[in-house]
Amino acid sequence: MKSWCVLAFLWLAYFCPGTQSCPVLCKCYHRRAEVVCHEVLLTEYPSEGLPSNTTMLTFQFTNITSISEQHLSATPMLQELHLYANHLRSLPSHLLRGVPQLSTLDLTENKLSELPADVFSHAPLRSLVLKNNLIVKADAEWLPDNSSLTWLDLSGNHLTKTPTALLQRLPHLDNLDLSNNRLEKISANSFDSLTKLERLNLQRNKLDTLDASVFQSTRNLTYLFLTRNKLNNLPQNLFQELTQLKHLSLDDNQLSHIPAGLLDPLKSLDEEGLDLSDNPWLCDKNMEYLWRWLQKNKKKVFLPETTICAKPQPLAGRSVMSLTESELILQS
């Protein structure tokens, strides 16, 4: 009889969520070891009631302002922690010491500005998202040397310089997002250690030019986003090593010309993989290289008819594709 009681209890514990603990204002999905707390009334991290076997934990749209190493230690099997759109203003050092299996940490849209050393140490993180915070400087001490990180999102912060020292600790990184910051210049060696990088997003910054050697080590890049900067001058050999590139966005910059040969290494561009629109192109004799390249590679350009002459006046509003060789020569 006792054995039947034990079996009945185990059956209820497994198949009936209500029989297991779960914090107030949270939902626990016991069969997949997931907890979701989605409630503005939640003001403090629920220290009690979280199932100890939780592997995925989400706090979103709450009024939680702090989180500690002790809080996370209650769920030692945690693999994913999503802290989206809360009110976190700071994080403690050694935050992840109690979650040695954590691989994904998302801190999107909080109020984080300065973070201490070792804040992201002690866990084998592969994905770290710090999007839409108030971070001015990303320090190397956040992470250990030779970090296992493959995905880093620092978009939507207040960075004015590329975090070169931090990037040197991330040899396995394949996705880096620095978009929507205040970057005015990128150091020549910023990406030298990122030999496995495949996707780089630099759009919506304040870059007016790029060093000729900045992409010399990122030979595995397949996606490069440079939209909405202030680029007005590009070095001739800028893309020399990017023979694997499939997508390049140069739209919405200040380009009037590009140097002869700039696009020649880009043999792997996808169909519609290059965007050149919304630039003030000057259609004179110096436009001949781009004009000829477009004639041969029309299918690789996204909406080629939107690559339009801004000057000189007789050609203003005309697509570069529509020009004739004699028109370019006449405007020299």
Give the confidence band of 7 by pLDDT, cuts at 50, 70, 90: very low
- For 77, 81, 82, 106, the CA distances from 65, given in Å and listed in that order, are 23, 16, 15, 15
**Burial state string for 103-137 with b = 16 or more CB within 10 A and e = fewer than 16:** bbbbbbbbebeebeebbbbbbebbebbbbbbebee
Q: Which residue has the higher pLDDT, 15 or 168?
A: 168
In the predicted structure, residue 79 carries a pLDDT above the cut 90? yes
More confident residue, 20 or 144: 144
Its pTM stands at 0.91
Under the banding of pLDDT at 50, 70 and 90, the label for residue 332 is low
Task: Label the pairing between strands 199-201 and 223-225.
Answer: parallel
Given this model, what pLDDT does residue 5 score?
A: 42
Which of 20 and 309 is assigned the larger pLDDT?
309
Beta-carbon contacts of 237 under 8 Å, excluding residues fewer than 6 positions away, are 212, 261
Model pLDDT for residues 140-167, shown as the tens digit of each residue? 999 999 999 999 999 999 999 999 999 9
Across 85-94, 214-223, 317-326, least confident range: 317-326
Residue with tokens 């997949």: 32
Q: In angstroms, how far is the first alpha carbon of the chain from the final one?
A: 99
Domains and CATH numbers, the chain: 1-134 (3.80.10.10), 141-279 (3.80.10.10)
Residue 30 structure tokens: 């016991």
Residues 220-275 have pLDDT tens digits of 999 999 999 999 999 999 999 999 999 999 999 999 999 999 999 999 999 999 99
pLDDT tens for residues 276-294?
A: 999 999 999 899 999 999 9
More confident call, 232 vs 8: 232
- Among 8-22, 275-289, 295-309, which is the least confidently predicted range? 8-22
CB count, 10 Å around CB of 82? 16
